[in-house]
Amino acid sequence: MAGLGRDALLGVLGDIERVANRLAGYRAEVLGALDALSRSGVAPDVAPHLSLRDAAGVSERDARKMVRGAEKAREHDGVLEALSVGDINAAQAEALCDARVPDGVRAELVAAAAAGEDTDATRRRVRRAEADHSVETPMERFERQRRSRGAGWQRDHEGMLRLWAKLDPEVGAAVEAGLEALRRQYWLNDKQVRNGRRTPAQRDADVLAYALTGITHTDTDTAAVERLHARARPDGHFPDQPVGDDDAAIVLRLPPAQISVLIGLDGLRGSTDEMGLTDAGVELPPHIVRRLACDAEIIPMILGGPGGPADVGRSARTVPLRLRRLLIARDRHCQWPGCNQPPSRCDAHHIHHWTDGGPTDLDNLVLLCHTHHHHLHQHGHKMIPQPDGTWTTIQETGPMPAPRRTNGQPRGP
């Protein structure tokens, strides 16, 4: 491979993935043949995932996932065919099989995925198709999601504890809002660190450790927790954590977090099935939003109506909360081409820079995740809106000078 250039090497990677996709389709067919033998009584197998584990040497968890994926693919001939010829990968196949849409729409989704889409693009297309052609009501979808909730934890081969959880949108929105509030406080602390800054994954692990156990590793993290609690209490007092006699007593580590939901007035009144949208980009059925509204103050927001224009003009550079919520309602996620980070991880970027005279109004703002926002400014890119509602980028200026390194670590955010 030493004689191959970048384009040739990328082509080889594409060929490898295509072969891997075809093998995944072949595996689904082989597992189907084994299932047929088991059902016929010729070779009964009560645990096909264990047979796959022993035959392939994979973990039991991976074997279960492969068996489930193969079962789904065999239920949809079009999906299995696209997988078997290498046009889609196993993750795309699972998303297409899980799509709750009519078969005709599923066939269109398979064709779009087989035309060269990546997995993230396929998942986004599936979500849009479900919104337009769903075979279930928003409440039926919510009840199905609630039934599929789950969580677990186990030790890995090094003794590290691994956690996983899947929560329905309502509970998930509450949990995410609480964790996101502390994550932001930790992130504000880490922005000041120039050397040895923890990674985003390490920061999230520390957030979860505090939420579950009350453990903080540094004085700055403890101060961040105190700021969060002080903000939630009118008197600004940070109370001592309650300690029970029972070692297993559960205490509330994080203060209740505010959940902001955007929904049309007709949806809130129950006249339509319009979904509500949280600041984190989570969709909630109108029934759930109305229930939340019973215990919340409702702040009306009118897009371009008599309630006030959606802009601040040149009076302020910082985007106020009301305008940010309107921006979230419009963009839903990071608008950098190919990125789908949720609003909770995004900044409001001035398309025409504020320092150059750009106003702080909705038409001059776009959501960008922290990574792409920094990349845009660092490399002199500009966001360009397209007629279909998407965005492209162009490079207006050359990249800024690389930050000076200290002990192998870059300086600056």
Angle at 11 between CA 8 and CA 15, to 5 degrees: 140
C-alpha 7/C-alpha 238 separation (Å) is 58
pLDDT of residue 234: 56
CB burial readout 393-407, b (16+ within 10 A) else e: beeeeeeeeeeeeee
Residues 6+ apart with CB under 8 A from 401: none
What's the pLDDT at 362? 85
The pLDDT profile of the chain, 413 residues, written as one tens digit per residue, is: 888 899 999 999 999 999 999 999 999 999 999 999 999 998 898 899 999 999 999 999 899 999 999 999 999 999 999 999 999 999 999 999 999 999 999 999 999 999 989 998 999 899 889 888 878 888 888 888 899 999 999 898 899 999 999 999 888 888 888 888 888 889 888 988 888 889 989 999 999 999 888 889 889 999 888 888 887 665 444 444 444 444 444 445 777 666 777 777 777 777 777 788 776 667 788 878 777 766 555 555 444 444 444 554 445 567 777 788 788 878 888 999 888 888 877 888 888 887 777 888 888 889 998 889 888 888 888 888 888 778 888 887 655 544 444 444 443 33
Alpha carbon distance 28, 48 (integer Å): 12
Name 232's Cβ contacts closer than 8 Å, sequence gap at least 6.
255, 256
The first and second tokens of residue 232, run together, are: 């939630």
Q: How many CB atoms lie within 10 A of CB 165?
A: 12
* Torsional sign, CA 56, 58, 62, 63: positive
Residue 230: φ, ψ to 5°: -65, -40
Residues whose CB falls within 8 Å of the CB of residue 100, separated by 6 or more in sequence, listed in order: 130, 134, 135, 136, 141
For 252, other C-beta atoms within 10 Å of its C-beta total 10
Tell which residue, 400, 390, 399, has the closest CA to residue 367.
Answer: 390
Cα 63 from chain centroid (whole Å): 25
Q: Which of 191, 192, 195 is nearest to 406 (CA)?
A: 195
27 and 56 in contact (C-beta within 8 Å)?
A: no
The letter for the amino acid at 217 is H
Both ends of the chain: CA-CA distance in Å? 37
Q: In whole angstroms, what is the distance from residue 74 CA to residue 97 CA?
A: 9
* Distance (Å, whole) CA 52 – CA 56: 6
Question: Each residue of 146-164: b (16+ CB within 10 Å) or e?
Answer: eeeeeeeeeeeeeeeeeee
Ramachandran category for residue 151: left, alpha or beta (phi over 0 → left; psi -120 to 50 → alpha): beta
Instruction: Please answer whether residues 87 and 114 qualify as being in contact, where contact means their C-beta atoms are separated by less than 8 angstroms.
Output: yes
Distance CA 99, CA 109 (A): 9
The whole-number pLDDT of residue 403 equals: 43
pLDDT of 257? 67
| Helix (H), strand (E), coil (C) string for 203-241 | HHHHHHHHHHHCCCCCHHHHHHHHHHHHHHCCCCCCCCC
Report which DSSP code applies to 257.
P
